[in-house]
Amino acid sequence: MKITRRQMLGACAAATLARPVWAGVTLEMGQVKIETLSDGHLVLPRAFMLGDAPQPEADEILLLQGVEGQSFTPPCNLTLLRDGTNTILFDAGSGPGFQPTAGKLLAALDAVGVSPGEVTHVVFTHGHPDHLWGVLDDFDEPLFAEAQYLMGADEFAYWRDPDTLAAIGPARQAFAVGARRRLDLLAERITEIKDGQEILPGVTAQATYGHTPGHMSYVLHQGSDSVMVLGDAVANAHLAFLRPGWHWGSDQDPDQAAQARVALLDQIVQDKMRLIGFHLPGPGIGRAEKAPDGYRFIAEA
C-alpha cells in the first residue's frame, strides 16, 4: 500500500473554525485512492462524551494526554474513495444546520478537485447529525444529485420508525427528527445493505452495532491490502483505544457498543489493517496496536 502525505489548507469558511478545512493522508491500493476530508469539528460537553466512564481514572488518562476543560472538540473526517470508475463518499457531514464549527465538506471537496455532482455513491455509517445532515442542500434536494445512497437496513429502519422519537430520550430527540426528515426525502434513492455484503467492488459492510442500533463500518480491500472505515465504532483516541470496554455517553447502547469496539480492534490488530476514524485526530488515518490494558492509536505521519 503506497502512502503519500499532503497538506492543503483551505480558507476558513467561518470565524468559529480555527482549523484547516482539509488536511489528509492519501492511501493508494493499486488503482484505488483513499483520502480523508475534513468537515470541521464538533464541540461536545465532556459529560456527554464520558458518560459513566470510571472516575478519577478517566480524568487522569486525559490529563496525561493534555486534554483539559469541560468540552471535547473532535474532528470530523470523511472518507473519499476513487477507483477510476466510482467516487464514493462515506457519510455526508453535518451541513450548516448542526454546529457552526462543522459543515465544511464542500470546501474540502473543492480542495481535492471533486464537485458534488461527481460523487457516484454516498455510503452511510449511521444516522447521527454529523454523518447525515449534510446530505441535502438549502432547498431540501440531494446535495449529491447524481449519487446512489446506501445505508444499513437496520439503521434505515430505526430512524424512520415513528416510535424512535419517544424512545431515544430528550437529549437525542432532535437527532431523530432530523434523521427521519432527511431519510424520508431520500427513501426512494436509498439502497438498504446487510452485514457482510460487498456493496461495491472492494467495499464490504461490517455490522458494528451499539453506537446506533444499525451502525456499519466498512472494509476497503484490494488484493492483500485493506483499510477499515470505522465511523463512530471507535469514536475517540483519548480513551476508546486504551479502555475499549468502557461505556461512553455518545453510544446509544453502551454495552453493545463496547463489545463491538473490542471485537473490531482485535480484528484490526490481528489482520494488520489500517483504519480511518471519523473523530480520530489529524486526518484520522492510522493503525491500532496492543497496549497493556487495551490498544493505542498510531496516526500515519
pLDDT of residue 18: 41
Mean pLDDT, the chain, rounded, equals: 90
Q: For the chain, what's the residue count?
A: 301
Q: Is the pLDDT of residue 13 over 70?
A: no
Counting Cβ atoms within 10 Å, is residue 222 exposed (0-12), middle (13-18) or buried (19+)? middle
22-67 tens-digit pLDDT: 545 689 999 999 999 999 999 999 888 888 889 899 999 888 888 8
146-204 tens-digit pLDDT: 999 999 999 999 999 999 999 999 999 999 999 999 999 999 999 999 999 999 999 99
Alpha helix locations (H) across 195-253? none
- Number of independent structural domains in the chain: 1
* CA angle, 143 then 40 then 62, to 5°: 140
pLDDT of residue 3: 45
pLDDT of residue 252: 96
HSE of 291, CA atoms in CB hemisphere, 13 A = 16
Q: Show Cβ contacts of residue 90 under 8 Å, excluding neighbours closer than 6 positions.
A: 78, 79, 80, 81, 122, 123, 124, 125, 218, 229, 231
Gap between the Cα atoms of 233 and 243, Å rounded: 13
Closest CA to 282 of 222, 230, 237, 234: 237
Crossing angle between the packed helical segments 153-160 and 173-186, to the nearest 10 degrees: 110
- CA-CA distances (angstroms) from residue 88 to 82, 97, 220? 6, 23, 11
CATH of the domain at 154: 3.60.15.10
Alpha helix locations (H) across 35-162? 46-50, 57-64, 105-111, 129-132, 153-160
HSE of 173, CA atoms in CB hemisphere, 13 A = 7
Closest CA to 72 of 99, 105, 106, 35: 99
| Residue range of the domain that includes 225 | 2-299
Counting Cβ atoms within 10 Å, is residue 49 exposed (0-12), middle (13-18) or buried (19+)? buried
pTM over 0.75: yes
pLDDT of residue 128: 98
List the grid coordinates of 21: 478545512
